[in-house]
Amino acid sequence: MAYNETLAQRIRASLGIFPDEIITNIEENKMFGGLAFLYKGKMTVGILQDDLMVRVKSEFMEDTLNTKDVRPMAFTGKAMKEFVFVGTKGYETELQLQHWLEHGLAHAQEKLNEG
């Protein structure tokens, strides 16, 4: 499994600012050849090599894709719905990383409310 362990540690530390109800419902799982962080079984963010994978609500996808260091997540040449990759410059600071965690959690919470 190829993922940036330093980034994984940063994500674990950043999750600490969320309420206990969220923290206790986060689990880590191997996905997409990397590491994913799931909230109540729904993927929020993940790591593949040095890229941060983020689930983004559909209404924010256009703006998100116009953000520097963000690109569509496409394994087979076709972009996956509501998934993006964020390059290393896009999560350099803790504030940037927190932003992406919030996007991923919002996506997971929306999907849970739908079902």
Burial of 41 (0-12, 13-18, 19+ CB in 10 A): exposed
Range 90-105 average pLDDT: 97
Say how far residue 36 (Cα) sits from the centre of its chain.
8
Q: Can you point out the beta strands (E) in the chain?
A: 26-31, 34-39, 42-48, 51-55, 70-72, 83-86
Q: State the pLDDT at residue 57.
A: 97
Given a cut of 90, whether residue 12 has pLDDT beyond it is yes
Write the pLDDT tens digit of every residue in 34-79.
Answer: 999 999 999 999 999 999 999 999 999 999 999 999 999 987 888 8
Domains and CATH numbers, the chain: 5-110 (3.90.1150.30)
